[in-house]
Structures are given as structure tokens and as C-alpha cells.
Structure 1
Amino acid sequence: MLSKKLHDALNAQINAELWSAYLYLSMSLDAENKGFKGVANWFYIQFREEQDHARIFMNYLLSRDAEVKLSPIAEVRTSWASPLDMFKDTLEHEKKVTAMIHNLAAIAAEDRDFASSNKLVWFIDEQIEEEENARGMIQSFEAVEGNKFGLYMLDKELAARVYSVPSPLASTED
């Protein structure tokens, strides 16, 4: 059985993951509106991944016979000056999510809830990847700053990114 503290924190994390999805959808739409179809694709895939992260947490709560409590999603920003600004915001946001995941892990450890601790290992690893990806995108966009052809080529490269179902959900997909 989950402690009330962990149960509440997991429900808050579900809301945070759905807010993240909403943020990345907003970035995708803004990029599309500005003609950056590859950047839009990259953020649309992030949108889908964040929805999946929320679903993984929901599935976990349900597997522990705990109630999922959905809360309203707060408003997100809708416009950025450039793709570089989007990725800088992405990195800062992912750092906040990492801190939230670490907090969940600390609560699970405090509760001696080994099942929850085990489930959170995947998210800890995922956050390392999320931050690394954002840093890499910042470096790429900084490298082509002021170079329209470089920006065009980078945008084309991002258009090739494809969605992959996260491993904790892969077994539940048809």
C-alpha cells in the first residue's frame, strides 16, 4: 500500500507530466506556425512521450490499488522567439521534472517502498536522457545560429525523428 504522501506526490507527478505534454504541444504548434516543421515534429514527439509518462504513472497507481486523481492543467506559454529559446526552456523544464522525480524517489526510499523505488529507476534514467537531449539540441542550434542554411538542415534532420513507445508501456500495446 502506498503512503498518503507518496500517493499524493505520484498524482502531482501525473499532473506535471500532462502539463509537460501540453507545454511541448504548444512548442510544436508555435514551431509549425513559424515554418519549422522539423522542430514541430521533435516537440510533437515529446508531447506524446510526456503523455506516455503520465500513463505509466497512472498504470502504476492503479496496479497498487490507488486512485488516480486528475487535476486541471495550468496554462502554458504559447510563443517563443526561436527554436533555440524553445530548447533552452525545455532544458530548464526538464531539470525541474528531474527534481520532482528525485523527490518521488526520496519519498519511496523513506517509506521503504521498494516497488515504487524500483518503478522510479526507469524515470530517473529517462530524465538523464531528457536533459542530455535538450543540451544537445541547444548546442546544435547555437552552432547554426545566424546560418540560415544550417538552420534549414537542422530542421530537416529533426523532421526524421520518430516516436517510440516507452518500454514500460510496450507490453501493454497491441
Structure 2
Amino acid sequence: MIKEEVQQLINNLIQIEQVSTTLYLAMAAYLDRKNYTGMANWLRVQSEEERTHLLTLIDYLTGKDGVVKLSQVPAQKDDFGTPLQTFERALEHEQYVTNAYRQAYDYIKNVDPQTVVIVQDFLREQIDEEAQTLNIVERLKIADENSSALLLLDQELGQRQPATAAAGG
């Protein structure tokens, strides 16, 4: 049986992933409505990735005979401003998620060596998630209000495929 404090920690991470998946889905819907379909695609794929994280944490907790406590997810906005403002918000969220996993790691490393492995895996993945989002923010700043540059970046972001599809299965 998993320790109560570890179960609570995992449930907190589950809540963060729930919020992440709905936030990115809301952002995708917003940008899709604004005809930035490539950026919307990128965010939709990101939402799916966050849902995968959510399910991984749920499976881990139930596999340890823990109790999953799904919380109500706050409603998301329906307007995120410009594409730059949208991705700046996404970057802020990724930094928040990284900090949450870092705090979880710092706590769990001396409490539960098995759980530390899964938390460390997610923490490692956050390096890439922040870097990708920061790259998009920086490129949007370069594009500024140049519609041609925005459309090229939109087209490029539309190429993103879910990790399983990219891996061939």
C-alpha cells in the first residue's frame, strides 16, 4: 500500500495534468477559431500529451493500490489574446508544472524511491516541454505582427504529430 502523503502528492500532480490538458485544449480551440490552425494543432497535440501524463499517473497510483481523487477542473478562458500572448501563457504554465514536479521530487526522493523514478521521468520531460514552448514564444516575438511570418510559423506548427504517431504506432 502506498503511503498517504505519497498518494496525496500523486493526486496533486494528477490535478495539475488535468488542468494542463484542458488549458491546452481551450487554447487550441481559441486559436483554431482565429484561423491559426497549425498553432491550434500544436496545442491540441500538447493537450493529448498532458492527458497521457494524467493517465500514467493514474495507472501508477492504482497500480500501487492507491486511491485516485479526481478534482473538479476550473473552467478555462475562451480568449487568450494574440498567438504570442497565448504561447507566453503556455510557457508560464509549463514553468509552473516544472516547479510542481521539482517540489514533488525534492519531497519524494527521501520518502519513496519507487515513486521518485516516475516523478524524475516527468521532471526530465519538462526540460523539453519548456524548451519547445520557449522556442515558439521567441519565434513569435521575431515574427511580431508580420502576417507572412506568422502564417509560416503557423504552418510549421501544424506539422506536429502525436508522439505515438511520430514513432510509427
Give the structure 1 partner of residue 136 of structure 2.
137
Residue 110 of structure 1: CA displacement?
2.9
Mapped to 2, the partners of 1:148 and 1:20 lie a distance apart of 29
Task: Name the aligned partner's letter for residue 90 of structure 1.
Answer: A
Residue 122 of structure 1: CA displacement?
1.0
Give the structure 2 partner of residue 156 of structure 1.
155
Give unmatched runs, 5+ long, in structure 2.
none
Give the structure 1 partner of residue 25 of structure 2.
25
Mapped to 2, the partners of 1:151 and 1:22 lie a distance apart of 25
CA contact (8 A) 1:105 1:117 kept: yes
Give unmatched runs, 5+ long, in structure 1.
none
Mapped to 1, the partners of 2:81 and 2:103 lie a distance apart of 32
Please give the per-residue CA displacement for 1:17-69, whole angstroms capped at 9, x wherever unaligned: 01110000000000000010001100000110110010010011011111111
TM, length-normalised to structure 2: 0.94
How many pairs does the alignment contain? 167
Mapped to 1, the partners of 2:5 and 2:110 lie a distance apart of 10
Moved over 4 A (4+): none
Give the alignment of 1:66-145 within 5 angstroms. Answer: 66-111=66-111, 113-145=112-144
Residue 124 of structure 1: CA displacement?
0.8
Please give the per-residue CA displacement for 1:55-87, whole angstroms capped at 9, x wherever unaligned: 010011011111111111112222121111111
Task: Name the aligned partner's letter for residue 33 of structure 1.
Answer: R
Please give the per-residue CA displacement for 1:78-124, whole angstroms capped at 9, x wherever unaligned: 2121111111001111111111111211221131x111111112101
Mapped to 2, the partners of 1:67 and 1:39 lie a distance apart of 36
TM, length-normalised to structure 1: 0.91
